[in-house]
Amino acid sequence: MRLGVLLTPGFLEAEAALVLEVARLLGWERFTIARGRTALEGSAGAVWTPKYTFAARPELDVLVIPGGPQMSKLGRDPQHQDWLSEGWEGLRAMFTGANGVLLLLEAGLISGKVSAHPVAWEALEGSALELTREAYHWRGKICTTRGYLELGRAVLEWAGFAEEARAHLGL
């Protein structure tokens, strides 16, 4: 299984790090991806350099979109839209962090009921999306989550290792 984590300016490092660690424990190939090769500063101030760019990324089975401050803007960005469209068919699952659903909303990739962290609720009001307070919600191959630990739990459950992995990770 190949899991990619999309890095964006100000991405939530806690979400990215948690999902990368979950993937490591599951024995999956894992890496970070960004539009360019430039290092990105996360929300907590650490600087991460993506392993791959949009143009040079391997095929993915799973894509994780951690939350961040510019999700709506990035969803309207043609490069992000094109990249998501190109990789869509090969994906088995896509997971969003705290407000990652805003990127999918603006890119036109999600409709119906979604889950999101309270930080995103105001931005989702008035949209065509129906907000659920569930920890995570599936629509096709997209799993929207409240982010943080719920993002890790959703990946574990999807992988079929929910109970034993949760105990091992202390979730």
pLDDT of residue 168: 54
Q: Is residue 171 domain-resident?
A: no
Q: Is residue 75 domain-resident?
A: yes
User: Residue 53 sits in which domain range?
Assistant: 2-166
Angle at CA of residue 79, ends 118 and 60, nearest 5°: 75
What is the pTM (predicted TM-score) of this model? 0.92
- Looking up residue 19, the CATH number of its domain turns out to be 3.40.50.880
What SS3 string covers the chain? CEEEEECCCCCCHHHHHHHHHHHHHHCCEEEEEECCCCCEECCCCCEECCCEEHHHCCCCCEEEECCCCCHHHHHHCHHHHHHHHHHHCCCCEEEECCCCHHHHHHHCCCCCEEECCHHHHHHHCCCCCEEECCCEEEECCEEEECCCHHHHHHHHHHHCCHHHHHHHHCC
- Structurally, how many domains does the chain consist of? 1
pLDDT tens for 134-151 read: 999 999 999 999 999 999
pLDDT tens for 97-121 read: 999 999 999 999 999 999 999 989 9
Q: Is residue 89 domain-resident?
A: yes
Q: Is residue 14 domain-resident?
A: yes
